[in-house]
Amino acid sequence: MQWIRHITGLTFIFVFVVTYFTNKFVLSVLKFTFPTLFQGWQTFIGAVLLLLSGKLGWVEISRIPRSAALSWLPGSFLFVGNIYAGSRALSRMEIPFFFTLQNSSHVVSDVILKAAYGEKLQWLRLLSLCLMLLSAINLPFYDPQFDQSGYQWAVVHLLCTGAYRVFKVRHRPSSLSDLEQQYINYLFSVLFLALAAHPTGDLLGVLEFPFLGSHTFHGGCCASALLGFLLLMATVRLKSGFSLEHFGVWIFMSKVTATCLSPFIFNMDLNVPSLLCVMGSHAAEALLVYSQREAQL
């Protein structure tokens, strides 16, 4: 029924917004800037909950062939780069600015598809990509709280996100479902981030973290891990119930909702030029979704 589909979409928006706000709170307000531990914890809990859900029959996770798992490892590596750089960037950038840079990952995806596979771009999609890129390029010049490191990590994040999107479409093993892909991502991330915790200094640095014994910190970390898993499940449910263009609409609405609500939750320093960059990026994303609809007709 139609109302059930809307409830699914609204649930996704709610989980999406709360997840980003919780992560932002832990990373920026509590200043827990140890991404190997933060993301390692999230992916470990995600792997455990996904495995438990499969054992209980709530989701279907089959035995993963070794060949399929090995063929997916490049995607897992991009996934780690995505979440690690994303945490670094989100800890130093406001949520609206983060989404403005993140949207440019579509430019990366389409450049790869054009260069490697010769895919043609319709003029409407090309226009949206140009507007996304223009908004992202101009934003650092008008950001009142410009942080060079934050933007550098945001660039790494959008590069990994764009490349991962292409890999997921072009190199997905036919024997792996979305949840099985994510399960491999989780396991690889836990191993990789655990090995990286000491060389990056996060393992020693966390011992001096002032909120280590705080109930607020413990609650925020537990909530972020649980919400990350719920967002995965909501995303899979949304993808299975909607077409690609409708799925894009719900993603767009989620980002706009988070952007509009974030000034009421976090202290933000905004100005008119930076807001125009944010609005331009969201307008470009809406145009991109519309171009996908036109391509299906």
Task: Name the residue with tokens 């470009």.
Answer: 284
The conformation of residue 145, written as its DSSP 8-state character, comes to: T
pTM: 0.92
| Residue whose tokens read 């077409």 | 243
Residue 280 reports pLDDT greater than 90: yes
Q: Is 245 a residue whose pLDDT tops 60?
A: yes
pLDDT of 1 strictly over 60: no
Rounded to 5 degrees, φ, ψ at 120 are -90, 145
* 88-144 pLDDT per residue, tens: 999 999 999 999 999 999 999 999 998 888 788 888 899 999 999 999 999 999 999
AA identity, residue 78:
L
pLDDT at 209: 65
Q: What is the pLDDT of residue 256?
A: 96
Amino acid 64: pLDDT = 85
Q: How many CB atoms lie within 10 A of CB 276?
A: 14
Q: Can you say whether the dihedral through the CA atoms of 116, 119, 121, 125 is positive or negative? A: negative
- Separation CA 198–CA 37 (nearest Å): 10
**31 phi-psi bin (left φ>0, alpha ψ -120 to 50, beta other):** left
Q: 95-111, pLDDT tens digit by residue? A: 999 999 999 999 999 99
The pLDDT assigned to 3 comes to 61
CA distance 90 to 234: 22
Q: Determine the Cα–Cα distance for residues 19 and 15; give it in Å rounded to an integer.
A: 6
The predicted pLDDT at position 2 comes to 60
Of 154-158, 221-225, 279-283, the range with the lowest mean pLDDT is 221-225
Alpha-helix runs per DSSP H in the chain:
2-24, 35-55, 66-92, 95-102, 105-117, 123-142, 148-170, 178-196, 202-205, 215-241, 244-265, 272-296
User: Given this model, what pLDDT does residue 116 score?
Assistant: 85
Predicted pLDDT of residue 23: 94
With cut-offs at 50, 70 and 90, classify the pLDDT of residue 279: very high
Compute the mean pLDDT over every residue in the chain, rounded to the nearest whole number: 88
